[in-house]
Amino acid sequence: MLQILRGRVSSPRMSSSSICTGSALGLLVRQVRDAMRARWQHELVTVGHDLTFSQFLTIKKLADGVANATELARIAELSPGAMTRLLDRLEARGLIVRSADPGDRRALNIRLTDAGKQIARDIAQCGERVRDVALAGLDDAQRAQFISLLEQVRDNLSIPES
């Protein structure tokens, strides 16, 4: 089996240590994450939406059905207070509404307004364009293998050590 590294094909005889050290792997993953975030931000600005990446994530997750501020904060990597301020800004822009949860006085229901739903649709299209740019030059089989390998790395790192 051949491995694809930076657009070059490498022989399976290469040792894993000569391919990438642990710190280099972490740096590469971080660079890909940062590049994807920057590309999403650019795509959103291009279609006329001035959103931070955290606002983008929040709207996307609300569109996907997540309506809990604690879960939204975790996904966006924000403190609960920062998430409250972010929700305040989205509400002031008319993109979300918050209402008391009739079943739990401590909780709020958060939902997208019609304007928020429109932005969510635009976000989905931006995401597709970013994915297409990120995976350009890879055929369907390579894309599937790449995703599978990323999932394997994620799963490897997610297993709690004994």
Q: How confident is the model at residue 108 (pLDDT cuts 50, 70, 90)?
A: confident
Domain range holding 108? 50-133
Q: Is 67 domain-assigned? A: yes
Q: Is 79 domain-assigned? A: yes
Q: Is 1 domain-assigned? A: no
Report the candidate in 146, 127, 150 with the shortest Cα–Cα distance to residue 137. 146
What pLDDT was estimated at residue 3? Answer: 42
C-beta of residue 98 within 8 angstroms of C-beta of residue 69: no
Q: Is 30 domain-assigned? A: no
Report the candidate in 72, 122, 75, 114 with the shortest Cα–Cα distance to residue 93. 114
Distance CA 14, CA 132 (A): 30
Q: Is 54 domain-assigned? A: yes
pLDDT digits 0-9 by tens, 11-28: 444 455 556 677 888 899
What pLDDT was estimated at residue 67? Answer: 80
Asked whether residue 113 carries a pLDDT value surpassing 90, the answer given is yes
Mean pLDDT for the chain overall: 85
pLDDT digits 0-9 by tens, 44-77: 889 888 888 889 889 999 999 888 888 999 988 9
Q: Is 154 domain-assigned? A: no
User: Could you tell me what percent of the chain has a pLDDT over 90?
Assistant: 52
Q: Is 37 domain-assigned? A: no
Model pTM? 0.70
Which CATH number does the domain housing residue 125 bear? 1.10.10.10
Asked whether residue 10 carries a pLDDT value surpassing 80, the answer given is no
Count up the domains in the chain and report the number.
1
C-beta of residue 63 within 8 angstroms of C-beta of residue 120: yes
List 109's β-bridge partners, or say none: 99
Q: Is 97 domain-assigned? A: yes
Q: How confident is the model at residue 96 (pLDDT cuts 50, 70, 90)?
A: very high
Asked whether residue 148 carries a pLDDT value surpassing 90, the answer given is yes
104-140 burial string, b = 16+ CB within 10 Å, else e? eeeeeebebeeebeebbebbeebeeebeeeeeeeeee
Letter for the amino acid at 96?
I
